Structure 1
Amino acid sequence: MKGHFVAAILSLLSAQSVVAGQYANFDVAVYIVASTAQRQLSDPKALEAQYERAASQLKFDKVYLETYRDSLFVDEKTLTSIKRFFERKGVKVAGGITLAKGGHGGQFGTFDYESAADREECRRAVELTARHFDEIVLDDFFFYTTKSDANIAAKGSRSWTQYRLEKMREVAENLVIKPAKAVNPKVKVIIKYPNWYEHFQALGYDLDVEAKMFDAVYTGTETRDPDITDQLLQQYQSYLTFRYFDNIRPDYSPDAAKSGGNRGGWVDTFSTRYIDRYAEQLWDTMFAKAPEITLFNWTDMASPKAAEPGHRSTWANKPTSFRWDEMVGSFKSKNGAAPGWGRVAGYSLEQVDAFLGKLGKPMGIASYKPYQSSGEDFLHNYLGNIGIPIELTPVFPESADLVLLTESAKHDPQIVERMKRQLAAGRNVAITSGLLRALHGKGIEDVVELEHTDRRVAIREFLNGYGAGNGTSLNDRADNPSIVFPEIRFFTNDSWVLVRGVAHSKGFPILLMNRYSRGILYVLSIPDNPGDLYNLPQPVVTVIKGYLQDNFPVRIDAPERVSLFAYDNKTFIIQSFRDDEAKAKVSVAAGAMRLRNLVTGEVQSLTAIPVNQRQKVPGRSEAAVTVQPHSYGVYAVE
C-alpha cells in the first residue's frame, strides 16, 4: 500500500516537473484554437503526444484554451478533459474566444451586431467560456466590418466610425462582460487588441472607453515581415505597441490575480522568411517589459515538423544573437526528432530572460497620440527604426522635457494651447510637417508663422547649420537617392533652419527651430513616403537625434534599421534589423567612465567629448560598438 502511495506521488511530481524552472522575468502562454481542441486534442493520446513535443522544446506556464471560433463551439466534455489534462501537468488554463465569422478570400468577416442571431451566438460563446474559466481573453476579432441594411439603418447620420465605436461599447457591456460575470462572478475578461492600432476606431475598436471596461487588455506585438505582408509593419512596432497599450492601461498589478493593466504581448509565426525575424518579435516584446507573452499557436509549438532557418545565408556564419546551430544543439530529442517552432521560441526567450531583470523601466521621447486618432500612420515605428526611441502615450506628457507630436495630435482640439503651455514652461515641442499642415488656421499661427505650401521637392543634398554662416555637408555618399519632401515656407530670422535640403541652389528646411516664450518649437519635415527616412544620410539623422534627444541619457549614431531601447537605470539595448554588420557610436551624458556589455561582460572605456560652446550643448561621453546582423547588444553605463 505504501509503495503504491509513493509511486503515485512520484508520478504526480514527474508530471509537474515538465514545466518546472519557468522564466524569471515573465510568463509564457500558448494559445490553442477551437478547431485544434475539438478535432485533435479531444483524443487523449494525441493530446499527450502533442504536449510532450511542445514541453520538450519550450517552458510554458499557461495555455489559453479557445472555446469558439468561426461558428465552431468546442463541446463541454472536451473542454473539461483538456483543462484537467493541463492542470495535472501543472499548467494554468484560461479561456479564449474568437468572435470571427469566416470571411471572403482571406478578408476577415465579423459578427453583425444588429443581427439577433449573431448577438445570441456571441452571448452563447461567452457564457460557455465563463462556465469553465476564471480568465477569458478575446482574440483580436472583436471589431465590426459588416454594412448590412440593418447596419446602414442603425447608423443613421453618424459616421461609420462613431456608429461602430458606440455599438461595440454596447456589445462589450451587454454581450460579453455582463453575461460572463453573471455566469461566473470571479471571471476576468481581457480584450486583446491587434497590431493595426492607427485604424482601430474606424472598425469599432476603442482604446479609450472600451479598453477600460474590460478587466485588462492584451497587446498584439506580431509585426511579421516588413516587406512582403499586406500591413508592412516596421520591426520596432513589436516594442512600441506594447509600450503604448501599457500607457493606456498602466494599472497592471503583479499579484496572483494579475487584475487590470496590460497583461502581455502576443506573437505568431506567420510570414517568417528567416527565423531571426520570429525571434526579433519575441525579443522586442520582452524589451518592452511585457509580464507575459502568448505564442500563437499550439499547432506550431507542438508540430512534429522541423523548423527551417529560412533565407539567412548572408549572416549565417556571423556571431549573431540567434545562432541556428546553437539552437539546434540545445534541443535534447528522445526519438531523433528535430527542433520545431517551440524550440525556436524557447531558445529565444531563454536568452533575454538572462538579462531582463537588470533593465529598468523603459523610456523614450514622449510622444502624444490621442485616443481615436490617426495621421501619418505608424510613423513612430519608422522613427524607432532609425534609432529614435519613442514612448507613445494617450495622455499629453506635460512633465516631459520634449514632446514629439505627429499629425495624429490634431484630433485633440486643445493641442495648440497644450503646446503653448509647454513652451511657456520652458519645455520643448517637436511637431511634424503633417501636424503643421493639419493645424493651419487652427491657432498654430499664434506660435509660429510657417506655411506648409503643399508643393513637393526631390532632395538629395543636405546641409547642417545652426545660425548665420556657411553650412557643412551632411552627405555621406555620392549616390544619395532623391527623397520627396513637402516645402515649408518660413520667415528668415524668425525661424532658423538646423538641417537644410538643397535642390538646384534653393534651400528647403528639413528641421527648423523657433523660439517661443521660454521654450523651443522644432518642426521636422517628413518625406512623402516615411520609408524614405531610411534613405536619409546617416549624418542627417544623427543631427536630428541631437536636437530631439538633447537631454536624453543615451543616443546612437548608427545606420538606419538600428534601434535604441533605453531604460531609467542607465541601461540600454541597441538592436539591428539589418542583414549586415552595423557600427554604432554611443553617446551618453558626461561623467560616465565605462560601458559594460551585460551579455558578454566586456567593459570598454568612454571618451569624453567637449562642450559645444556655440550651441551651448553640454559635453558627453562616447564609445563605438558593433552590432551583428539581426542581433542586439545590452549595455550598462558606469
Structure 2
Amino acid sequence: MSRIPALLIVGVLAFSTSADAQTDLWNLAQEHADTHRFSTLFTAQQVTSDLANDDDIDQAIRWCREMGITKVYLETFRTQHWADSQTIAHARDRFRKAGFLVSGCVTTTRVGKISTGWDLISCYTAKETQQQTRQIFEFTAGLFDEIMIDDFWFTDCQCEQCEKARANGRVVVDGETFDVDGDQWSDYRRELMLQVSKNLVLKPAREVNPNVSVIIKYPQWYDNFQERGYDVVRQTEVFDQTWVGTEIRDEFDERWGGRGRTTAYFLQSWLEGISGRKCGGGWYDTLGTTPATYLSQARQTILGGANESMLFNAGNLRFKDPGRSDAEALQDALPELLRLATQVRKRQAIGVTMYKPPNSEGENERRVFEFVGMMGIPFVTTDRFPNDADAAFFSVHALHDADFVKKLAQFLQSKRPVILTDSLAQKIAKDIDLSDDHFSILTLDGNVENAYSLPVKELSMLRDVVLKPLNLAITAPQRTAIYCYSDGSWVVENFNDKPIQITINGRSHCVEANHWASQWMEEH
C-alpha cells in the first residue's frame, strides 16, 4: 500500500495550554528525555544559599519537577566562592534519589591572578592561576562524573608577563614549554588555553576520576573566539563534549541588545557541524529578555539540533524578574517544545549554506550570519567549504580559508547560485569574474543590520535565484526566519510587531506578530 503524505499544521508561540494544562510536565519530560532534555544550574553561591538543608532542597526539587526539568548542574566554584563539598554531595544525592540526572559545573571567574582586561577574567600565564585551576578541577572531579565549564574559559590579559611570553613565542604551563605558531595575541592565547585545558583541567580531573567527562561550553560571541583563546577545532578535539551559549537578547534592550534574532540557531547548528556527536546542548539565560525572546531561545536551540537546553540559572528563574515570567512562559510552552524537538529530530534541514571557517574574523561583517538569517531565506551552516551545497552564502569570514578563491572558482563551474557580501566582493574582484549571472551581491555598507533592510523587490529577486535549485518558492517580509526540511516541512518565526503573510511553495500562511508557525509532513 502506498503511503500518502499528509499535512500536520502547528502554529504556536503563545499557544493555548487548555489541552496541556493537565499534563504532568515531569512525566512528559522524562518520556522525551532521549529526544530533548531541559536542565538547570545552581551556581556555587546558590548551592550555599538555596540547597543548604533538606527543606530548601525539597522546594528546589518540587520547582524543577513542575518546570519539566530532569537534570541539574551543581556548581562548585564561581568568582572565588567555593561551595562546601558536604553541601554539594548531599544535594547531589537528594536530586539523584528524586530521579534527576546530576552533574557538576565550574565557572572560572576571578581565578588566581586577575586579567588586565575584564576584572572577572584571569591571567593564565601566571603560576598562581594555573595552580588554582588544577585545584578547582581536582575538587570537582572528586564529586561528579560530568563537569561543564561555563563560558568564561578565556583570557584577555596583556600584563607584562603575558606580553613577554607572547613576544618569545612560548607558552609555559605546569612547568612545560610549548611553542606558539604565530606572534599575534590570538595565537598566544589559543595555545595557552589549549595547554591549560589539557594539562590543568583534563589531566588532573581524570587522575582523580578516570570516568569523568568534561564539557567545554563556547560563548555566544562566535566572531571573537580566537581573540580570547577559544579554539573550536583543537579544544573540541581534546574535550569530551561541547556546548554553546544560545542566548538571544531583545535586540532593542538598552544594555543587551544589538544582536540578530537568529543567533541561537546559527551557533548551535554551526558548532554541531564542528563537534559532531560531541555536541551536547545549548545554554541560555534571562538577561535582556522578554517571554517572547526567551521562548525564541528555546525554540532555536532545538531547531539548531541541541539534545539538551540549559536554563540558566535556577535562582534567577525562581526568584527574580524577568526570570519568573520567562519560566512561566517556558513552563506553558514545554509540551510544544518537546513536540518540536521530536519533529526536528526526524528530518534533514535544507537551505542556502552559510560558510564560517573556524577561528575566522568578520572585520566589518561580524555577526552577519544572525542578521542574514532574518531575511526570510532558509539557511544551513557549515565550517568547511560547501562543495556539495545547492546554493551558498559567503562573507569576508571565508577569506580565513587560504584556498577560498580557488574553491569558489571551482564551485561556480557548476552554475550554482552564490550570495556574496559587498565587502567580500570587493576583496576578490581581481580574482573572480563577478559579472556572472549566478552571483548576487548583498550590499551591507559595513553595517550588518542592513541585511534586513533590503527593499522587498530586491529581496524577492535574490530569494528566487538562490532558492531555485532547492525547489523552494518563498515570499516573506524582512525580519522573518524560515527553516525548511527535505520532506517539505517548515518552521517560520515572525520577528515583526505585526502579522505577516508568507507563501511557501504556493501555500499561503499568516503568522501573528512575534509568533511562530510550523507545518510538518506526516506519512500515513
TM-score for both structures, normalised by structure 1: 0.71
Judge which range, 545-554 or 24-33, deviates more. Answer: 545-554
Partner in structure 2 of residue 384 of structure 1: 373
How do residues 128-527 of structure 1 correspond to structure 2 at under 5 angstroms? Answer: 128-156=139-167, 158-228=183-253, 229-230=255-256, 232-250=258-276, 252=277, 261-272=278-289, 274-303=290-319, 340-359=325-344, 360-375=347-362, 376-439=365-428, 445-448=430-433, 495=435, 514=436, 520-527=438-445
Partner in structure 1 of residue 16 of structure 2: none
1:524, CA displacement in angstroms?
2.9
How do residues 517-596 of structure 1 correspond to structure 2 at under 5 angstroms? Answer: 520-586=438-504, 588=505
1:82, CA displacement in angstroms?
0.8
For the Cα contact (< 8 Å) 1:96–1:138, is it kept in 2? Answer: yes
Q: Which amino acid aligns with 2:432?
A: V
Q: Percent identity?
A: 27
Q: Which amino acid aligns with 1:352?
A: L
Counterparts of 1:123 and 1:341 in 2: how far apart (Å)? Answer: 36
Query: Secondary structure of the residue that 1:624 maps to in structure 2?
Result: strand
Query: Secondary structure of the residue that 1:55 maps to in structure 2?
Result: helix
In structure 2, relative to structure 1, the CA distance for the partners of 1:203 and 1:355 (3 Å cut) is closer
Counterparts of 2:472 and 2:207 in 1: how far apart (Å)? Answer: 51
Query: Secondary structure of the residue that 1:109 maps to in structure 2?
Result: coil
For the Cα contact (< 8 Å) 2:44–2:76, is it kept in 1? Answer: yes
1:569, CA displacement in angstroms?
2.4
Counterparts of 1:197 and 1:350 in 2: how far apart (Å)? Answer: 31
1:340, CA displacement in angstroms?
4.9
Q: Which amino acid aligns with 1:364?
A: G
1:50, CA displacement in angstroms?
3.0
Query: Secondary structure of the residue that 2:468 maps to in structure 1?
Result: coil
Q: Which amino acid aligns with 2:76?
A: T
For the Cα contact (< 8 Å) 1:406–1:432, is it kept in 2? Answer: yes
For the Cα contact (< 8 Å) 2:417–2:465, is it kept in 1? Answer: no
Partner in structure 2 of residue 118 of structure 1: 129
Counterparts of 2:402 and 2:225 in 1: how far apart (Å)? Answer: 20
Query: Secondary structure of the residue that 1:550 maps to in structure 2?
Result: helix
Deviations 1:479-530 (A, max 9, x none): xxxxxxxxxxxxxxxx2xxxxxxxxxxxxxxxxxx15xxxx34433323322
In structure 2, relative to structure 1, the CA distance for the partners of 1:624 and 1:203 (3 Å cut) is same
For the Cα contact (< 8 Å) 1:573–1:632, is it kept in 2? Answer: yes
Counterparts of 2:27 and 2:238 in 1: how far apart (Å)? Answer: 35
Q: Which residue, out of 509, 514, 517, partners 1:633?
A: 517
In structure 2, relative to structure 1, the CA distance for the partners of 1:28 and 1:275 (3 Å cut) is same
Query: Secondary structure of the residue that 2:392 maps to in structure 1?
Result: strand
Deviations 1:229-251 (A, max 9, x none): 3462111111111010011112x
Partner in structure 1 of residue 83 of structure 2: 74
1:550, CA displacement in angstroms?
1.9
For the Cα contact (< 8 Å) 1:34–1:67, is it kept in 2? Answer: yes
In structure 2, relative to structure 1, the CA distance for the partners of 1:346 and 1:523 (3 Å cut) is same
Q: Which amino acid aligns with 1:116?
A: K
Partner in structure 2 of residue 35 of structure 1: 45
1:431, CA displacement in angstroms?
2.0
Deviations 1:258-289 (A, max 9, x none): xxx210111101112x3211111111111223
In the comparison of the two structures, how many residue pairs are matched?
A: 475
Counterparts of 1:66 and 1:556 in 2: how far apart (Å)? Answer: 46
Deviations 1:541-571 (A, max 9, x none): 1111111222224353122111101122221
In structure 2, relative to structure 1, the CA distance for the partners of 1:217 and 1:136 (3 Å cut) is same
Query: Secondary structure of the residue that 1:90 maps to in structure 2?
Result: coil
Query: Secondary structure of the residue that 2:120 maps to in structure 1?
Result: strand
Counterparts of 1:221 and 1:555 in 2: how far apart (Å)? Answer: 29
Can you give the 5+ residue segments of structure 2 that lack an aligned partner in the other structure?
1-23, 169-182
Tell me whether 1:21 sits opposite 2:15 in the alignment: no
Counterparts of 1:306 and 1:141 in 2: how far apart (Å)? Answer: 24
Can you give the 5+ residue segments of structure 1 that lack an aligned partner in the other structure?
1-16, 253-260, 309-338, 451-494, 496-513, 589-621
Q: Which amino acid aligns with 2:462?
A: I
Between structures 1 and 2, the one with greater strand share: 1
For the Cα contact (< 8 Å) 1:29–1:294, is it kept in 2? Answer: yes
Counterparts of 1:341 and 1:49 in 2: how far apart (Å)? Answer: 19
**Aligned-pair Cα RMSD in Å:** 2.3
Counterparts of 1:26 and 1:100 in 2: how far apart (Å)? Answer: 30
Q: Which amino acid aligns with 1:203?
A: R
Query: Secondary structure of the residue that 1:117 maps to in structure 2?
Result: helix
In structure 2, relative to structure 1, the CA distance for the partners of 1:583 and 1:340 (3 Å cut) is closer
1:108, CA displacement in angstroms?
5.2
Counterparts of 2:471 and 2:483 in 1: how far apart (Å)? Answer: 11
Q: Which amino acid aligns with 1:633?
A: A
Counterparts of 2:308 and 2:521 in 1: how far apart (Å)? Answer: 28
Q: Which amino acid aligns with 2:84?
A: D
Counterparts of 1:572 and 1:75 in 2: how far apart (Å)? Answer: 48
Counterparts of 2:191 and 2:98 in 1: how far apart (Å)? Answer: 43
Tell me whether 1:65 sits opposite 2:74 in the alignment: yes
TM-score for both structures, normalised by structure 2: 0.86
Counterparts of 1:200 and 1:438 in 2: how far apart (Å)? Answer: 24
1:428, CA displacement in angstroms?
3.9
Deviations 1:59-92 (A, max 9, x none): 1111111111111111211111110110111001
1:99, CA displacement in angstroms?
0.6
For the Cα contact (< 8 Å) 1:288–1:362, is it kept in 2? Answer: no
1:107, CA displacement in angstroms?
4.6
Partner in structure 1 of residue 56 of structure 2: 46
Query: Secondary structure of the residue that 1:87 maps to in structure 2?
Result: helix
For the Cα contact (< 8 Å) 1:410–1:438, is it kept in 2? Answer: no
Partner in structure 2 of residue 93 of structure 1: 102
For the Cα contact (< 8 Å) 1:99–1:139, is it kept in 2? Answer: yes
Counterparts of 1:426 and 1:40 in 2: how far apart (Å)? Answer: 61
Between structures 1 and 2, the one with greater helix share: 2
1:129, CA displacement in angstroms?
0.9
For the Cα contact (< 8 Å) 1:429–1:521, is it kept in 2? Answer: yes
In structure 2, relative to structure 1, the CA distance for the partners of 1:236 and 1:547 (3 Å cut) is same
Counterparts of 1:290 and 1:53 in 2: how far apart (Å)? Answer: 24
